[in-house]
Amino acid sequence: MFNLIEIQDTKVYQEAFEEGKLEGKLEGKLEGKLEGKLESIEMVLDSKFGIEGLRLMPEIRNVKDINILETIIAALMSAKTIEEVRSIYQQ
């Protein structure tokens, strides 16, 4: 039987370990970008619509697609109503 040290010394183990580290780093970066976009949206909603705008944040936090979050940010600049903003991510 192999012991843990022997398994850790194999090329397959090392490659899998490195791949896992890379995936973890990428996921962390994506999460950081998503959080940054969410913070931007929250600030604009607050400044533009106040508490009513902030009530959208629980719904918007469910959006995990960075492209949709970027679309929301762009649309916030011209949105006149909360319903306009909501229609962006509910499509």
Q: List the structure tokens of 37.
A: 């976009």
Tell me, what's the pLDDT at 56?
A: 94
Q: For the stretch 44-53, what's the b/e string if a residue is b when 16 or more beta carbons lie within 10 angstroms of its beta carbon? A: bbeeebeeeb
Count: domains in the chain: 1
Rounded to whole angstroms, how far apart are CA atoms 45 and 67? 18
Say what the pTM is: 0.67
- Could you report the per-residue pLDDT of 23-41, keeping only the tens digit for each? 766 666 667 788 989 999 9
Question: Of 79 and 90, which is predicted with more confidence?
Answer: 79
| pLDDT exceeds cutoff 70 at 1 | no
Rounded to whole angstroms, how far apart are CA atoms 59 and 52? 13
Instruction: Give the structural domain span for 56.
Output: 4-90
Residue 64 to residues 32, 38, 43: CA-CA distances in angstroms? 12, 10, 18
